[in-house]
């Protein structure tokens, strides 16, 4: 019974991680559509997560052939970040930069 619970927990955990990165991907894709750009114009995309008193400030950046822009800035609670690696990095240092191109492609 216990191994089954571990498997279910692992599957749910993977689903949560995908959910966080799905939000990032959807935000970048929506931004590209708003500008009338297709995916091939996206040269780079990344997020900066800053630990602040009230939680985490999340800024999504993108670089296209037209330049670099801050796509979106939002505040999150630590509970909304369901990627354990990102949480661990935020606990060790105040700012985390992550490439998100693998999630956008």
Note the pLDDT tens digit of each residue in 77-105: 888 888 889 889 999 999 999 888 887 76
Note the pLDDT tens digit of each residue in 15-44: 334 577 788 888 888 887 787 776 667 788
DSSP secondary structure, 5-45, as one string? HHHHHHHHHHHHHHHHHHHHHHHHHHHHHHTT--GGGEEEE
**pTM check: above 0.75:** no
Domain limits, the chain: 2-104
From the list 40, 38, 48, 93, the residue with the least C-alpha distance to 70 is 48
Confidence band, pLDDT 50/70/90 cuts, at residue 68:
confident
Strand partners, 98: 47
Q: Is the sign of the CA dihedral 19, 23, 24, 26 positive or negative?
A: positive
């Amino acid at each position: 019974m216990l191994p089954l619970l571990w498997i279910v927990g692992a599957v749910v955990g993977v689903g949560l991680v995908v959910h966080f990165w799905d939000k990032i991907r959807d935000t970048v894709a929506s931004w590209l559509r708003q500008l009338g750009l297709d995916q091939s114009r996206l040269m780079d995309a990344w997020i900066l997560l800053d630990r602040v008193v009230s939680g985490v400030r999340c800024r999504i950046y993108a670089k296209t052939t037209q330049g670099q822009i801050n796509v979106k800035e939002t505040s999150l609670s630590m509970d909304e970040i369901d990627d354990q690696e990102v949480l661990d990095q935020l606990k060790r240092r105040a700012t985390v930069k992550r490439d998100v191109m693998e999630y956008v492609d």
